[in-house]
Amino acid sequence: MGMTIVLQETLRAPFYAPFYAALALGAYRQEGIEVRLVTAPAPSAAARGLADGSADVAWGGPMRVLHTYDNHPDCDLVCFCEVVTRDPFFLARPPGKA
């Protein structure tokens, strides 16, 4: 196998389904990349894994980056893509609500 990437999730949520599907189907492995999925101890601690080197990449929304910059203005986090929609936020309406 080629390189290994440690991918950190901040939390489990339906809008990350494309990532979970790619892992489950072995899509990364087919491209020669081994992905090891880890979970942040808490969503608010997600950026720490990137800063301390325990994670190579993390998924999370722009709010995570903005919050981190508020607390650590010298950080170098960057949001680099949005997977399936034009809106970086996921909104859901409970069933039966108008």
Question: Where are the chain's structural domains?
Answer: 3-71
SS (H, E, C) 12-29: CCHHHHHHHHHHHCCHHH
The lowest-confidence range among 34-43, 60-69, 83-92 is 83-92
- Sign of the Cα pseudo-torsion (90, 45, 57, 55, in order): negative
pLDDT at 36: 93
Residue scoring higher pLDDT (53 or 78) = 53
